[in-house]
């Protein structure tokens, strides 16, 4: 953390997207560190996978699967790459990524910029399978059949993924969140179910901007379709009070300003599911207290991204250490005991 505090002003002197690309480039050419060892009491069993730590990296950081092994070596229990679409696409016009320094937040309107499935598949095929790497799949902006794009993603990326995430919750691809609606969601999940490989876990990533009744409907559709977990949640189009001069930028808001909304969504999905489907929490997680709050509210795993911009690459290790300490304070022997312990 001390080293990152010295380096952060240099990174922040660059625009956000340039700094991000420089970070990915550096990680992609670095020799991966050995996988970290985590205490046994942090290991989580979710969807048939053994996660050595419940703290993972959310999709959006390593969009093109350029450095998953280097990221695992930083102290993450798992890494999710993507979002990856069938065809390459440039995404939205720049500038499209903004640091909200005063708010410890980020606004992005990237638009699923990525090099496409073929390039990511080639990279992932060459890596030694170590650690858990999930692949987040999406639809191209100009697709005439978005459900077909997700089916293509399931078929293409299954051989190189430890799990897949169906991302229908980005606010930066026009109309994409419509797939969360009743009939379209059922149709999409049925198509994914028919295309998936037996035994390969599939997650559904949802938005935090939901209305009354949406939680019950989404849970029911996910369970009926055999979805293995819900990731709650993506960025928000809502705007709590913000101090940054970038507060008015269009796009999805993440980081600290999303914290209370994302926690509330975990509670709502836990109430709707009654623990019937695992939940993975994302949004505004900055420290062990945030992670503990999500876990005790019902999450089995947590993911972060924006906080790493402000807290540095050691954040995953620090949160894991903090969770172990919280177990001791709560007189619990294993992290699984904490899941949903405050959900009532």
Binding residues for substrate: 63, 108-112, 167, 172, 234-235
Distance, CA of 106 to chain centre: 15
Of 109, 118, 53, nearest in space to 291 by CA: 53
Say whether 30 is catalytic.
no
Residue list, annotated binding site for FMN: 59-63, 83, 136, 167, 205, 233, 255, 284, 305-306
- Rounded Cα distance, 62 and 233, in Å: 18
Backbone angles phi, psi at 298, to 5 degrees: 140, -5
> Which DSSP category does 54 fall into?
S
DSSP track, 93-150: PSP-EEEEGGGTEEEE---S-B--HHHHHHHHHHS---SEEEEEE---TT-S-HHHHH
Percentages of the chain per state (helix, strand, coil), in multiples of 5: 40, 20, 40
Of 58, 105, 61, nearest in space to 239 by CA: 105
- Rounded Cα distance, 41 and 268, in Å: 27
- 53, 143, 170, 273: the catalytic one is 170
Backbone angles phi, psi at 113, to 5 degrees: -70, 125
Residue list, annotated binding site: 59-63, 83, 108-112, 136, 167, 172, 205, 233-235, 255, 284, 305-306
Catalytic residues: 170
């Amino acid at each position: 953390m001390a080293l990152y505090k010295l380096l952060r002003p240099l990174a922040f002197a660059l625009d956000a997207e340039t700094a991000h690309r420089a970070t990915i480039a550096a990680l992609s050419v670095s020799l991966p560190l050995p996988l970290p060892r985590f205490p046994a009491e942090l290991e989580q069993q979710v969807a048939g996978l053994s996660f050595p730590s419940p703290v993972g990296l959310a999709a959006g950081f390593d969009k093109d699967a350029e450095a998953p092994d280097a990221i695992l070596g930083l102290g993450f229990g798992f890494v999710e790459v993507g979002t990856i679409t069938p065809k390459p696409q440039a995404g939205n016009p720049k500038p499209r990524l903004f640091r909200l320094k005063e708010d410890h937040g980020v606004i992005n309107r990237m638009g699923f910029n990525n090099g496409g499935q073929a390039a990511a598949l080639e990279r992932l095929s060459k890596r030694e399978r170590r650690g858990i790497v999930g692949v987040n799949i999406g639809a191209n902006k100009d697709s005439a059949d978005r459900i077909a794009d997700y089916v293509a993603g399931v078929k293409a990326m299954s051989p190189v993924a430890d799990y897949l995430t169906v991302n229908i919750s980005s606010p930066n691809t026009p109309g994409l969140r419509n797939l969360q609606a009743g009939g379209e969601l059922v149709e999409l999940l049925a198509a994914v179910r028919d295309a998936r490989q037996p035994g390969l876990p599939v997650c559904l990533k949802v938005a935090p901007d939901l209305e009354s009744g949406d939680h019950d409907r989404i849970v029911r559709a996910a369970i009926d379709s055999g979805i293995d977990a819900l990731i709650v949640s993506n960025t928000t189009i809502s705007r709590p009070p913000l101090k940054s001069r970038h507060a008015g930028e269009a796009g999805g808001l993440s980081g600290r300003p999303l914290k209370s909304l994302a926690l509330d969504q975990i509670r709502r999905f836990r109430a709707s599911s009654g623990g019937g489907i695992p939940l993975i929490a994302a949004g505004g997680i900055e420290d062990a207290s945030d992670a503990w709050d999500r876990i005790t509210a019902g999450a089995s795993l947590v993911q972060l991204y924006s906080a790493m911009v402000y807290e540095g690459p050691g954040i995953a290790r620090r949160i894991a250490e903090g969770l172990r300490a919280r177990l001791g304070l709560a007189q619990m022997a294993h992290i699984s005991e904490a899941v949903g312990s405050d959900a009532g």
